[in-house]
Structure 1
């Protein structure tokens, strides 16, 4: 996958020499815009770059790491002429490796508040650092305090104490930029100091599987190791993105770089400055993508929204009676075009706000009012509650859609190590080449629902499949639980019954 080549840590080790510093220590003032252009690209961005570079800084970090254990000494016969040599060599090497070492790295950042000395960079630039220093264009070095970090968006807020106000830049409207608009990146690639590159916005709202709130701006402006945390400017001198990742087999720029949109960063930055942590809204649902097959099985005209695969006990959704199998179509008045949009919508909504959520439930749209709560970043997983053992039912098996089904009794529960609180119809075998196998349905999975109707016996499953077939449905939507109880929706193609 392309994501295997994503390089998030673009801060190279500075093992020998310090990199060139950049960013001036001057009085803050308005940044003039670039000269007007005719849509074919600016003739020159020299004036723009000259005025913006003073607000961009080099971030250098240092941390102490423990020495690594050396390779164990080879076994040699007692009395061998090499025994004394190896013992002396490996003992000396072990002593050297046990000593703590200082490791340095380099990245980029930019000033957004010259009076307060507030600097923005990436979390991965300063993560684990003992010392963080902001290096300015005039050679000034200021020790930076970390006000707060957010791993989910890879943002960090630093504070320095300047003797006079710093040159600062403003966060712009990242929603206003369009694919094809010119942008400019300034940063510290490979420790070279202030470097300016220009390109266009190649794409928007990119998901690179780096976190739950991915909606990156993609650009072909050259971004390399060391550019992390640096700004991506529009042609008016406003920061529309924070450079954070690249896709590259070699580690260098191949014209595919990613920046966190300013709109995404704004709320995170404000919270880190005020609280030192993020405070996000929480809905309390597990969701999955609505594929074309799932949409067809639910009678939807098009694939959209977020399918609720599970609801957290005592969470906001559970209290509002949102159910597994609901498809969230609208949240707080906004259309949920795709599953991955919902987490970002929820996170950006104020805690405690009453939000209208429109869901599709068994073919009907239902409006539900939900009061959002705060997302606990390290919320523990609730232990599964045990249930009383029920009397074993008579054995019953059948085969449908390439799956051999059976009543979930104690023997099968033990055979497949199925948790005590998992209920439904157990799948004991999956036919090779069947649609179920293509969807990675496995023996030991338990069918809890078919077409959003609970099932308890193989006969229940057969009856629901037959009903769907008679209605002309091409696939059956199964709610499956794995042996540990994690659930997911799987559309299985209906063969001729």
Structure 2
């Protein structure tokens, strides 16, 4: 017995009965108050994961692939952008077949993981687990083995769908709602780490909405142990639902240090559904180039807050047909608010192809709703995007403004800078290295095509835009800058 309990019982023997009843009533009230203060959905650590493991293990599979390596190839680049501070530490299981090694033609085997999502034999895994494989063998928890065929892949999310033919229905698991996963929730990872066979590890959700380098990234970060061979395996919640597909780890040595990444199930389910129905992905396409609205850009445009997606260019496509223009800020798409470019890209990709959706944009300080019929991204990605512009008028004058030396762009200079024919604007001939313009990345060879969301062709155009912004009480001026044809908006302080 607890020493405090012993002390209480002795005092109760000597205390009058009414006093004892009052004391017990106060204790009961305190207990109820404390229980009400704790959220009902909060869960303590489970005593054991054994029951959960028993329930879900039959649906998890080991995957062995066999590939003919015809000749040496270069190592696969890391999943993080070049120059990232994490680049040298990233191990994303993306070279399980040793394709970075030198040597002649040979057969190579690799190991990975996956999980069954239907009784008739559909299996989900990572694209990099089966990429280039000549033969895919599936080993089930029972020890049975079946050969798998490839249904379809999506390299952008690193997801692949396989199919096996089984004489009997297979045990399978269902996807859960990854948006309901909270930081701190318990999760369980299962798979075939380092070729050791079926293995279970447990941890918590460490972070949400992680982006590595992909357009559609939405990773759940977890400290559940994930190693090479876990690729393609499931990340379960405590209900036994799949809320992620284990894909990558951050590690200096190739082993788990508690920073693993699983592609969120709400991304995976859409991909798997399309692969199952069409054998390929079919994402919506709006047809704009965009950038985030930063605080300085918001101030330069007179926006109340930095949110939405700023359109930098509108080539031929659905958006142009609907009347969208460079400088518009997309505030909502199909009735859902857009906070940044990443959210817009994902919403557009998930929207049905060929259907008309409402897009709310802010233009010249006023909101306007446009009706856009979406195209298909996969069909448009190979198209060359060329801005349209009228022939320039040559003006040899130069000027120093906002830390920049600029001059009207000639057709010869446009060709030398790799710009499309007909591009007009002001060429940046030098940049003061102590200026804000240099800090924000402007360099010699850039071309300013707009200032204050108005076209500029001559130096006077730019000077007029600066004067107008100052007269309006603006602290900065928004420039549309092109480099090799790629546009972006940059806000420069008018104090320069």
User: Which TM-score bucket, shorter chain as reference?
Assistant: 0.7 to 0.9
Corresponding residue number in structure 1 for 2:65: 61
Distance in 2, Cα, partners of 1:389 & 1:383: 18
Corresponding residue number in structure 2 for 1:48: 52
Q: Deviations over 1:272-327 (max 9, x none)?
A: 111100111110111111111111111112211111111121x1101001111111
Quickly say closer, same or farther: Cα 1:381–1:414, change in 2 above 3 A: closer
Match of 1:245 among 242, 248, 269: 248
- Secondary structure of the residue aligned to 2:297 is helix
| Kept in 2: contact 1:421–1:485 (CA 8 A) | no
| Kept in 1: contact 2:390–2:423 (CA 8 A) | no
Match of 1:120 among 101, 116, 124: 124
Corresponding residue number in structure 1 for 2:384: 382
TM-score normalized with structure 2 length:
0.82
Match of 1:323 among 322, 325, 328: 325
| 2:70 corresponds to 1:102 | no
Aligned-pair CA distance for 1:259: 1.0
Corresponding residue number in structure 1 for 2:89: none
Q: Deviations over 1:216-259 (max 9, x none)?
A: 11111111111111011111111111111111122111111111
Quickly say closer, same or farther: Cα 1:287–1:393, change in 2 above 3 A: closer
Distance in 1, Cα, partners of 2:62 & 2:321: 48
Quickly say closer, same or farther: Cα 1:254–1:377, change in 2 above 3 A: farther
Aligned-pair CA distance for 1:37: 9.8
Correspondences of 1:138-287 after superposition (within 5 Å)? 138-209=142-213, 211-287=214-290
| Kept in 1: contact 2:481–2:490 (CA 8 A) | yes
- Secondary structure of the residue aligned to 2:112 is strand
The two structures, once aligned, show a CA RMSD in angstroms of 2.1
Distance in 2, Cα, partners of 1:256 & 1:225: 13
| Kept in 2: contact 1:406–1:427 (CA 8 A) | yes
Distance in 2, Cα, partners of 1:340 & 1:142: 40
Which stretches in structure 1 are left out of the alignment for 5+ residues?
1-35, 70-96
Corresponding residue number in structure 2 for 1:345: 347
Q: Which has the higher contact order (CA 8 A, sep 6+)?
A: 1
Aligned-pair CA distance for 1:139: 2.1
Corresponding residue number in structure 1 for 2:441: 440
Corresponding residue number in structure 2 for 1:310: 313
Distance in 1, Cα, partners of 2:427 & 2:466: 16
Distance in 2, Cα, partners of 1:98 & 1:208: 31
Query: More helix per residue: 1 or 2?
Result: 2
Correspondences of 1:446-461 after superposition (within 5 Å)? 446-461=447-462
| 2:431 corresponds to 1:430 | yes
| Kept in 2: contact 1:61–1:126 (CA 8 A) | yes
Distance in 2, Cα, partners of 1:349 & 1:425: 38
Distance in 2, Cα, partners of 1:226 & 1:190: 5
| 2:476 corresponds to 1:475 | yes
Corresponding residue number in structure 2 for 1:301: 304
Aligned-pair CA distance for 1:377: 5.3
Quickly say closer, same or farther: Cα 1:252–1:408, change in 2 above 3 A: same
Quickly say closer, same or farther: Cα 1:383–1:305, change in 2 above 3 A: closer
Distance in 1, Cα, partners of 2:107 & 2:171: 32
Aligned-pair CA distance for 1:188: 0.9
Distance in 2, Cα, partners of 1:323 & 1:389: 20
Q: Deviations over 1:22-70 (max 9, x none)?
A: xxxxxxxxxxxxxx9962211111011012111100011010012449x
Aligned-pair CA distance for 1:142: 0.6
Distance in 2, Cα, partners of 1:333 & 1:37: 30
Which stretches in structure 2 are left out of the alignment for 5+ residues?
1-39, 74-101
Distance in 2, Cα, partners of 1:308 & 1:187: 43
Distance in 1, Cα, partners of 2:362 & 2:388: 31
| Kept in 1: contact 2:286–2:348 (CA 8 A) | yes
Query: May I ask how many residue pairs the two structures share in their alignment?
Result: 429
| Kept in 1: contact 2:63–2:139 (CA 8 A) | yes
Distance in 1, Cα, partners of 2:469 & 2:378: 41
| Kept in 2: contact 1:384–1:421 (CA 8 A) | no
Aligned-pair CA distance for 1:384: 4.6
Distance in 2, Cα, partners of 1:385 & 1:355: 25
Distance in 2, Cα, partners of 1:262 & 1:312: 33
Distance in 1, Cα, partners of 2:490 & 2:464: 18
Corresponding residue number in structure 2 for 1:407: 408
